[in-house]
Amino acid sequence: MTDRKLKVMTAVGSDRPGLVKAISTLIHGSGANLEDSRMAILGGEFALVLLYSGTVEALERVQAGTESLGSKLELQFIIKDTANPTARPYRSYRIRVSGLDHPGIVERVTDVLALRQVNVESLDTRLAHQPLTGTPTFVFDATLQIPPEVAVAELRKALAELCDAEQLDFSLEARL
């Protein structure tokens, strides 16, 4: 069996059609496998983070290809070695926080989580506007990894206190 290694790639550059195609072609054409990815357009910029695997030779071909692809498409790449995640016991929860937009929402919510050693597995934030009024509403949507020693009721209480003080709504639900 071939020894496969893992790498994480990040790329940022001006958005335009064909970027995902070019990057996925580079990975596949090099003999590597794209395993997990997150991509978004933020402002006018395209941003991606992805996990890919392959033999040492395939990973070297991907790395070499990012130099020419980066120049051609005006993308900045960072590639980092990684390993399979260490299995840890945790409970998976989804949190959603929303309310009138104001500075500090992400910092305050993540402070409550970090103080309790709750890991943020994935996070999506966005600014939406109410259909009739156009009022800016901030939405924080995350998947959490809650350690077994953390009481969910206590976490829920701390989040409720924060959200009451910040005039935000929240929900915290177990994921199946």
Residue ranges with strand state E in the chain: 5-14, 33-42, 45-54, 75-82, 91-100, 119-129, 136-146, 168-174
pLDDT, residue 85, reads 82
* Average pLDDT across the chain, whole number: 96
3 state SS of 72: helix
91-174 — its CATH code? Answer: 3.30.70.260
Average pLDDT over residues 129-151: 95
The predicted model scores a pTM of 0.86
Q: Where are the domains of the chain?
A: 5-82, 91-174
pLDDT, residue 175, reads 93
- Encode pLDDT of 30-77 as tens digits: 999 999 999 999 999 999 999 999 999 999 999 999 999 999 999 999
CATH number of this structure's domain 5-82, picked from the four choices 1.10.10.350, 3.30.70.260, 1.20.1600.10, 3.40.50.300 = 3.30.70.260
